[in-house]
């Protein structure tokens, strides 16, 4: 597998070896990715995972304990957590995806990603409209 190097985002951990964890045949990266994908898909509110291409179908394996932490600076989180900012950023992402799709011959996976982003945008908009109007989502149609 090799070394992950990312000094810009994780200066303290810029050289992390992933070889010992994922290189053996009994616990390969594909098995771990497939397991994580299925768990995320099952637990997702939107029943979707933003992954252009689903991982290879393999047997499920036990994953190592998760490691938690935040790699996004607190001030950046604060500036982007407002619902209207989140809506605007999601809409911009959708516009960028649509532009790529219109300019190239793209995979079905990218079109599924666009649909997933659109569904998430709709959920954000409905939730925000409900917050500011005081009406339940069904009464806003």
**What's the pLDDT score for residue 115?**
93
**What's the pLDDT score for residue 124?**
93
Residues 61 and 3 in one domain: yes
Q: In whole angstroms, give the CA distance from residue 105 to residue 21.
A: 36
Residues 63 and 125 in one domain: no
> At how many degrees (to 10) do helices 108-133 and 83-103 cross?
160
**What's the pLDDT score for residue 103?**
95
**What's the pLDDT score for residue 7?**
46
Residues 64 and 78 in one domain: no
Residues 38 and 91 in one domain: no
Number of structural domains, the chain? 2
Residues 95 and 32 in one domain: no
Residues 55 and 78 in one domain: no
**pTM of the entire predicted model:** 0.66
- CA angle at residue 35 from 21 to 10, to 5 degrees? 50
Which residue(s) pair with 4 in the sheet? 16
**What's the pLDDT score for residue 56?**
83
Q: Cβ(124)–Cβ(86) under 8 Å?
A: yes
Residues 8 and 65 in one domain: yes
**What's the pLDDT score for residue 138?**
64
Residues 1 and 65 in one domain: yes
Q: Closest by alpha carbon to 125, among 114, 113, 141?
A: 141
| pLDDT tens-digit readout, 24-48 | 554 577 888 888 889 888 988 888 8
Q: Which of 50, 69, 88 delimits the end of a domain? A: 69
Q: Which of 53, 69, 85 delimits the end of a domain? A: 69
State which residues of the chain have pLDDT below 70.
1-27, 52, 138-141
Query: Which residue range is the domain that position 14 belongs to?
Result: 1-69
Residues 61 and 96 in one domain: no
* Cβ atoms within 10 Å of 34's Cβ, excluding its own: 19
Q: Which of 69, 88, 110 delimits the end of a domain? A: 69
**What's the pLDDT score for residue 107?**
86
């Amino acid at each position: 597998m090799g070394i992950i190097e990312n000094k810009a985002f994780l200066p303290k951990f810029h050289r992390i070896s992933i070889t010992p964890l994922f290189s053996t045949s009994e616990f390969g990266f594909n098995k771990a990715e497939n397991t994580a994908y299925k768990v995320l898909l099952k637990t997702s509110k939107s029943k979707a995972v933003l992954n252009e291409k689903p991982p290879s179908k393999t047997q499920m394996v036990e994953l190592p304990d998760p490691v938690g932490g935040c790699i996004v600076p607190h001030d950046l989180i604060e500036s982007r957590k407002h619902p209207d900012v989140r809506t605007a950023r999601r809409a911009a992402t959708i516009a960028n995806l649509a532009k790529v799709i219109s300019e190239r011959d793209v995979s079905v996976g990218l079109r599924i990603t666009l649909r997933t982003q659109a569904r998430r945008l709709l959920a954000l908009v409905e939730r925000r409209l409900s917050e500011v109007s005081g009406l339940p989502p069904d009464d806003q149609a």
